[in-house]
Structure 1
Amino acid sequence: MEETQNLSRQKKDLLRLLSFLKKYKGLLITAFVFLFLATGCEMYGPIIVKKFLDNYLMKRYFPKNEIVFLFTIYASLLLGKVLFSYFQLLIFQKIAFKVVQDIRMKVYEHVHSLAFSFFDKTPIGTIVSRITNDTEAIKDFYVSVLSTFVQQIVFLVGIVIAMYSLDTKLATMCLGLIFIIYFVILTYRKKSFPFFMEMRKQLSNVNAKLNEHLQGMAIIQAFNQQKRLQKEFESVNSAHYNAGVKTIRLDSLFLRPATDLIYTIGIMLVLSFFGINSFKNPVEVGTIYAFISYMERFFEPITQMMMKLSLLQQAVVSSARVFDLMDEDQLAPVKAGNEKPAITTGKIEFKNVSFAYENDHKVIHDLSFTVKPGQSVAFVGHTGSGKSTIMNLLLRFYQIKEGTVYLDGQDLSSFEEEELRKNIGLVLQDPYLFVGDIKGNIAMYNENLTIDEIKDAASLVHANEFIEKLPNGYDEEVVERGATLSSGQRQLITFARTIAAKPTILILDEATANIDSETEDYIQSALTEMRKGRTTVIIAHRLSTIQDVDCIYVLHKGKIVEQGNHQELLAKQGLYYNMYLLQNKGSLQLSES
């Protein structure tokens, strides 16, 4: 039952791979024309040799003009085969690379549309493996396997036709060998599918582990855990090796050895046929040569295809993994309805919102609050209280199933994605910079920004003071994640990036956590300017950074338990008061006593 399902899935995925060729019909037709011409040249060659052997050599008859004519035709066929084979191979390879490029872009674009819930549960290394390693295996299918199979099948058909033109009975007997080969191929596919699936799975595990260890290299070295993690990596690497060994054993049994055995049987069959017939009727030497030549050429494409079966199976298995990713239906929330509301004032309202990341374990419960246009509010609370969840829902990273979030009086779900992203600016606690230059990172939200606008944004947050001291200024190279810059410098650039976008709503997720005291003073003054005319939502851990906001919401276990400004909350001597004392080592209590 399982084997039948595997074969059905393989067939489905194979047909889906072939469907990507529809886009290149014109090039395919051209390639096939050259392929048929090359095959015709190849097939007619032995016929010319047969004529020479039977009509001239065996009769010792050598008319100069006719011999030269035969030689010219034979040489022309060889040259034609080379030229036509070159052009058909070139076109097939071009189509292959184009198709793989299309698949890789399609899966990459689909990944961009997936929900955060998918990335929460899927290791990044696994996704990278599918977009790179698995699509590379698919490339081998188009570049090596498909072109080889198409060429060799056409070649095989040509050989069979040529063999039938020489002897129908013997050709039919030789054709029967194809059924034996088909049985071998079918058995190989059944047996190898689980082995190749396991091998690709283990390769994903290797990539996932490697990605995790490289990103955490500083922690690994700081805690001297190199040997332990090397053992972990050795374990997953060995699992991949063991899966690979199983496929090698299968290849060693079913591919070349099986083909050679069938070929030997075929030669024995042909020689026996001519040997038995020679007792009854004379056999022409040219006919024997031609048939033996065709027999060798008959098995040449079969051998070529058998040797590509391993790559074919890898490609089919990899395509299943890529198509699973392409078909992943955990999509990011999208606009609902036909209306196209716009964000103008930045009013935010949560109304009876409850949310759980998974199962029924809710992280916020029946949450309701309103942030007026231009108002600055902060959310504080212990870890797990639901602060970041509010930010995620406001950015529509997750689908809201209970309650409603409104922007300017309109349901959050009714807004176009572009409208949300251009009007909501986000600065995270962990500043993320992309490979490129500083100028490009600041202008990430709007690539059409002028250099003056980029500099104005940097000046507002005092980032220009360190940028202009760099050797290349705003053209300074930024390596992966901005590793050559300090955490404070990276954060200043992300501030400049957000300001440059001129958002209506500003979300700050503890944006000053990684900044030194002097830089924080710059940021706080910049934040005052940034918040003017903008609705600002601050996710805060350090209470000293939010003392001047209009309203502070204190969260506990997903519920708002206190709200008010800094002084009002201190006066209540509740949860906020205790948090403030904890962060300030009881200084407030001492000053009051």
Structure 2
Amino acid sequence: MRKPNSTLRRLLGYTTPHRLSITIALLLLIIATAAELAGPFIAKRAIDVHILGIEKPWRVYTPDSAPAGTPQVEYRNRIWVREEWLMRDGRKSDIDSGERRQILEVNRTYYTLPTVIPFEGERTINSRSGRTELTITLGDNQISYPVEAIASSDVKAFYAPEIRPLVQLVLLYIGLLLIAGILQYIQALSLQSTAHRIIRQMRINIFSHLQRLSIAFFDRTPTGQIISRVTNDTEAVRELFVSIMAIFVQNIVYMIGILVALFILQPELALLCICLLPLIAVIIALFRRYSSRIYGEIRARLSEMNGMLNEMIQGMSIVQAFRREQAVQKEFATVNETYFKARFREVKLDGLLLRPAVDVISNLMLALVIWYFGSQSMHNAISFGVLYAYVDYLSRFFEPINTIMERLSTMQQSLTSAERVFEVIDEPESVRDRQNKESKDTVLRLSGDVVFDNVSFAYRDNHTVLHNISFSVQSGQTIGIVGHTGSGKSSLMNLLLGFYEPQQGTIYIDGRKMENYPLQELRRQMALVMQDPFIFTGDILFNIRLHETASISDTDGRMAANAVQAASFIERLPHGYKEEVIERGSNFSSGERQLLSFARAMAFNPAILILDEATASIDSETEARIQQGLRELARGRTTFIIAHRLSTIKDADLILVLHQGRIVERGTHEELLREKGRYYVMYQLQQGGKVKHK
């Protein structure tokens, strides 16, 4: 299995054409994140300076001695000025000239004190003999002061100088949130559109590569698995670019920004947070180690299930005809159960190593913070704004960690899916397919001379299906190929079409080795009509031309259909040549589908025509009608006809009789009948005779 890091590097290679847009999107994300991180600092200033600032030391002056040019509060014919206002305005000399006072809030009532309290603690109000006292208790320390309550209207006067800066801070906070929201929208739109473009390109790459793979790959790989890799797996990879990349960058920026803020607020605890990061890294490493295997199994089981569904749907008529619904349902239940168990192992792993583990660490850290600030408050006053900001940042510090941990599951699934996609892309093409991409040759019209020289072929080692096949065909000749099932007839034509390569021997076309032709150029001059023709979704004319609109006009398509006797049924359809064809042409009979495949071959005007049991699905009456069409189709081109119905090859220039992968007889129809060998027996059996082989 490919290493995750190499898979990630390869995935990042797809971002190269989009590097600028991704970089801009990530920069916007960083700016938006920084705007969001400014919130607690703004809240800290609002709380400490403007909301709880009323409890900071004040200086009280007579009206004629009050310093000018600073915010002032008039209360009971005295002027109150906060010390920090004087410090801010550079009026330090005026601080000592006023009487020092303090205002404290207890149970939503504000009181004035004749001095400034030396320490913070629990506040209680006692009334004795018409006198109000405030008692401050901190551990064993206790101190009392006579206080006077401030009327609500007067409290508003003390807060009046704070209204404007508070509003400014609120507007700043809202503005930052709006900026963050707009930037996040822009970056999300940019990143997602880029991700879709990347996945679009990846799907094009894998689909194009699939078309260049040898037929052997499709023989050994279930269709459902291939579909799953092109659709499900690429969709899982999309998540890596759409959400994982943005989330990881955003949360890493969050963590760095929060650590900076924590260092500003309390360096000791910030260092403790950094010490926790290696522990988080260990959890991530453990998760990736075990999850890669689990997700590989999940994707494999999903592909297996897709393959079974594809097979069952295509063979539904057989399943129902043989009443195998219950058996197929049990088989599907078994596959589904293995997929369920793999998913359940994923749930258990996620439940152990993702959020729960981080939650335990974060709760322990929060308890430590409470203990730390609690012990510190016994000796030094801790402002509520600092405490609020620190707890806020601490909760935010673990929030991105939790988000990253939760997304690790999706990231690992994306990497596993990417590995499966790259397995297909890395599947080696045949040598001739590679030559075809590298070659600039254009093959002129072939004459159609074909020579098989001592050709042997095996689909698997030690299972040879063709033995030392040798024959030659001249341009324009028709060659009939007959033999019992499994004798190697279709394998012979698969070699001629370049679907497979022989292990021994050489095939010559027009005197040139077949392997020296660009394969796609060679196939342009060949046409294949199979026993079970494949009809594509679209209309009839599309199925005749197959996207070839440049060289095959509508008129050419109609002429081809008319030549093979297909026009008679097409023109009876409601929409004629524009009649829609549903999947696999199931709205037409087998014979009609076969006639369409004849028309397709005729329209492409090949130099070499291969008919593989092409009339097996056509009734005798229809076959008689299209014999003239076949003669027209074969005229002027080399034609290979694989047939069980020997009547279709009676006029062939040469008939090859195969038996167990060897040519045992060859000649014309009349010559083979005179030999009274295997061909003679086959012909007599089809004619109703009972002749024993000599």
Common fold by TM > 0.5 = yes
Match of residue 53 from structure 1: 47
1:110 to 185, 195, 209: 209
Say whether 1:18 aligns with 2:12: yes
- Map 1:96-245 → 2, pairs under 5 A: 96-245=195-344
Out of 157, 162, 182, the position equivalent to 1:83 is: 182
State the number of aligned residues: 583
**Paired AA for residue 58 in structure 1:** L
Q: Contact 1:343–1:419 at 8 Å: present in 2 too?
A: no
Contact kept? 1:340, 1:414, Cα under 8 Å: no
User: What is the CA–CA distance in structure 1 between the aligned matches of 2:306 and 2:648, rounded to whole Å?
Assistant: 40
CA distance in 1, matches of 2:276, 2:678: 84
Q: Amino acid of the residue matched to residue 282 of structure 2?
A: F
Q: Which residue of 2 is the match for residue 516 of structure 1?
A: 619
CA distance in structure 1 between the partners assigned to 2:493 and 2:222 by the alignment: 23
Paired amino acid for 1:132:
T
Per-residue deviation, 1:347: 0.6
TM-score by length of 1: 0.95
Q: How far apart are 1:63 and its partner, in Å?
A: 3.5
| 1:223 Cα deviation after fit | 1.1
Letter in structure 1 aligned against 2:38: Y
Give the alignment of 1:359-374 within 5 angstroms: 359-374=461-476
The separation in 2 between residues aligned to 1:51 and 1:362, in whole angstroms, is: 85
2:647 maps to 1:541: no
Tell me how far 1:185 sits from its aligned partner: 1.4
Distance 2:226 2:431 in 1: 17
Asked if 1:34 corresponds to 2:28, the answer is yes
Q: For each residue in 1:40-62, what CA deviation from the matched residue of structure 2 results, as whole angstroms up to 9, or x when unmatched?
A: 21111111111122222222164
Q: How does 1:177-576 map to 2 (within 5 A)?
A: 177-329=276-428, 331=430, 333-334=432-433, 335=435, 341-444=443-546, 446-448=548-550, 449-576=552-679
Query: Shift in Å at residue 34 of structure 1?
Result: 1.2
- Distance, in Å, in 2 between the alignment partners of 1:228 and 1:75 is 64
**Native 8 Å contact 2:432 2:518 kept in 1:** no
Higher share in helix: 1
Q: Which residue of 2 aligns with 1:586?
A: 689
Cα RMSD for the two superposed structures: 1.8
- The 2-side partners of 1:50 and 1:280 are apart by 22
SS in 2 for 1:44: helix
The residue number in structure 2 matching 1:3 is none
Provide the rounded CA distance (Å) in 2 between the counterparts of 1:19 and 1:224.
51
Shift of 1:276: 2.5
Deviation at 1:363, TM superposition (A): 1.2
**Contact 1:35 1:85 survives alignment (8 Å):** yes
Deviation at 1:182, TM superposition (A): 1.5
Aligned partners of 1:159 and 1:294 also within 8 Å: yes
CA contact (8 A) 1:333 1:397 kept: no
Structure 1 residue identity aligned to 2:510 = D
Partner of 1:9: 3
Greater shift in the superposed pair: 236-245 or 164-173: 164-173
Q: 16-25 vs 567-576, which deviates more?
A: 16-25
Shift of 1:277: 2.4
Secondary structure of 1:365's match? strand
2:63 maps to none
Q: Cα distance, 1:256 vs. partner?
A: 2.1
- Conserved in 1, the CA contact under 8 Å of 2:458 and 2:503? no
Shift of 1:476: 0.4
Question: What's the secondary structure of 2:524's corresponding residue?
Answer: helix
Counterpart-to-counterpart distance in 1, 2:269 and 2:614: 82
* Contact 1:340–1:415 (Cα < 8 Å) also in 2: no
The question of whether the paired residues in 2 share the 8 Å contact of 1:439 and 1:454 is answered with yes
Q: Are the aligned partners of 2:530 and 2:612 in contact in 1 as well (CA < 8 Å)?
A: yes
Q: 1:342 to 1:365 in 2, by over 3 A?
A: farther
Which structure has more relative contact order (CA 8 Å, sep 6+)? It is 1
Three-state SS of the structure 1 residue aligned to 2:53 is coil
Three-state SS of the structure 1 residue aligned to 2:14 is helix
8 Å Cα contact 1:438-1:474 kept in structure 2: yes
TM-score normalised by the chain length of structure 2: 0.81
Contact 1:353 1:405 in 2 (8 A): yes
Offset, 1:13:
1.5
- SS at 2:306's partner residue? helix
Q: Secondary structure at the match of 2:534?
A: coil
What is the rounded CA distance, in whole Å, between the counterparts of 1:264 and 1:28 in structure 2?
Answer: 36
CA contact (8 A) 2:685 2:691 kept: no
Distance 1:277 1:362 in 2: 86
Pairwise CA distance, 1:167: 2.3
Q: Which runs of 5+ in 1 are unaligned?
A: 1-5
Matched AA of 2:463: H
* Aligned-partner residue type, residue 13 of structure 2: S
**Percent identity over the alignment?**
44
Distance 2:242 2:612 in 1: 48
Find the aligned partners of 1:457 and 1:254 in 2 and give their Cα distance: 66
Q: Which runs of 5+ in 2 are unaligned?
A: 55-158
Match of 2:86 in 1: none
On the 8 A contact 1:551/1:565 being kept in 2, the answer is yes
Q: Does the 8 Å contact 1:345/1:408 carry over to 2?
A: yes
Deviations 1:398-450 (A, max 9, x none): 12331111111111111123321221111111111000010100011622322
Read off the aligned partner of 1:393 and give its amino acid letter: L
CA distance change for structure 1 residues 446 and 522 in 2, over 3 Å: closer, same or farther? farther
Amino acid at match of 2:24: T
Q: Which amino acid aligns with 2:676?
A: Q
Measured after TM superposition, the shift of residue 396 of structure 1 is 0.7
Larger Rg: 2
Q: Output the CA distance in 2 between the equivalents of 1:588 and 1:451.
A: 51
- Which residue identity does 1:363 align to in structure 2? V
C-alpha displacement at 1:73, in angstroms? Answer: 1.5
Residue 666 of structure 2 aligns with an amino acid whose one-letter code is Q
Q: Write the distance in 1 (CA, Å) between the matches of 2:514 and 2:399.
A: 64
Equivalent residues of 2:240, 2:411 under 8 A apart: yes
Which residue type is aligned with residue 52 of structure 1? Answer: A
Is the 8 Å Cα contact of residues 50 and 165 (structure 2) preserved in structure 1? no
Q: Is the contact between residue 113 and residue 332 of structure 1 (CA under 8 Å) also seen in structure 2? A: no
**Aligned structure 1 segments of 4 or more residues deviating by more than 4 angstroms:** 336-341
Partner secondary structure for residue 308 of structure 1: helix
Residue-by-residue CA offset, 1:255-305 (whole Å, 9 max, x unaligned): 221121111012122222222322332222211111111111111111111
Work out which of the residue numbers 157, 163, 171 in structure 2 matches 1:72.
171
The answer to whether the Cα contact below 8 Å between 1:116 and 1:332 also exists between their aligned partners in 2 is no
Distance in 2, matches of 1:371 and 1:443, equals 29
Q: What SS class does the counterpart of residue 333 from structure 1 fall into?
A: helix
Q: How far apart are the structure 1 equivalents of 2:673 and 2:16?
A: 69
Output the amino acid matched with 1:470.
L
